[in-house]
Amino acid sequence: MGQKRLLFLLAVFTFLVSSSYGRGVLKLKSDDDRPVYNHTLAVTLVEYASAVYESDLTKLFTWTCERCNGLTKDFEVIEVIFDVEHCLQAYVGVAKDLNAIIIAFRGTQEHSIQNWVSDLFWKQLDLNYPDMPDAMVHHGFYSAYHNTTLRPAVLDAITQVKKVYGANINIIVTGHSMGGAMASFCGLDLVVNEDEENVQVMTFGQPRVGNAAFASYYSLLVPNTFRITHDRDMVPHLPPYYYYFPQKTYHHFPTEVTSLSQCTGCLSE
């Protein structure tokens, strides 16, 4: 794992753990009737989001990588997915202690992260999300999940799990940075196109992915969603939000959870 990414995920993990012991402060931006944030789950999921960066696919599949222990040590990997053409990676497995399928998406590789962040400043809302009037997203974010080998492999793995563990098993989708963007599209896809009901999405440092209309649809369809952010990570601020073009700019969907131990407010919508 790249040094910068490792430091970021460790920072997130540190503030999550410290907050659970009362040494940090978390602030949620949400409506009162939305699902309740589970801090213990977040501490576990940051490890799953970190493990997906493992470059040795054998270690990842056998769950023997550096991050494949501790809170996640009994995880059962069902499928490791690697899209060679687009350099994308994900895995699907079962966390028996959570009674849930875990789907984790890798973010941008370290060698290309700087260019990717720079490109985020200029990404346009250029794709109408299917069957959602006025909802627009960036085609690159959308296609990374929908138009690669990731989606069919994820769906196939879910089918495999349900044959063994039953149809009512929960599904939790996670990812960091670009992986968080793909996780959000995956969660929405599972609800809208696969009629899944027990879907939760929790991401770490993900960018904005769509406009205000998309954010509204997403909020209604996948209400059990939490975006964990850190004040020193610029990615959640991107692509930029332009307050003078409220209907034609990127918006975050709820719910955001951020540390106030080092910052004084939540990120802009």
Domains along the chain with CATH numbers: 3-259 (3.40.50.1820)
- The confidence score (pLDDT) of residue 240 equals 84
Q: pTM of the predicted model, to two decimals?
A: 0.86
- The confidence score (pLDDT) of residue 232 equals 79
More confident residue, 260 or 58: 58
- 3-state per-residue secondary structure call for the chain: CCHHHHHHHHHHHHHHHHHHCCCCCEEEECCCCCCCCCHHHHHHHHHHHHHCCCCCHHHHHCCCCCCCCHHHCCCEEEEEEEECCCCEEEEEEEECCCCEEEEEECCCCHHHHHHHHHHHCCCCCCEECCCCCCCEECHHHHHHHHCCCHHHHHHHHHHHHHHHHCCCCEEEEEEECHHHHHHHHHHHHHHHCCCCCCEEEEEECCCCCEEHHHHHHHHHHCCCEEEEECCCCCHHHCCCCCCCCCCCCEECCCCEEEECCCCCCCCCC
Query: Is pLDDT of 15 > 60?
Result: no
> Quick one: average pLDDT of 72-95?
96
Lowest model confidence (mean pLDDT) among 49-63, 114-128, 201-215:
114-128
- The confidence score (pLDDT) of residue 264 equals 30
Lowest model confidence (mean pLDDT) among 24-28, 74-78, 146-150, 185-189:
24-28
pLDDT digits (tens, 9 = 90+) for 229-239: 987 788 888 88
Lowest model confidence (mean pLDDT) among 13-22, 115-124, 246-255:
13-22
More confident residue, 247 or 23: 247
More confident residue, 205 or 248: 205
- The confidence score (pLDDT) of residue 267 equals 35
Confidence at 10, pLDDT banded by 50, 70, 90:
low
Query: Is pLDDT of 36 > 70?
Result: yes
- The confidence score (pLDDT) of residue 234 equals 87
Query: Is pLDDT of 197 > 70?
Result: yes
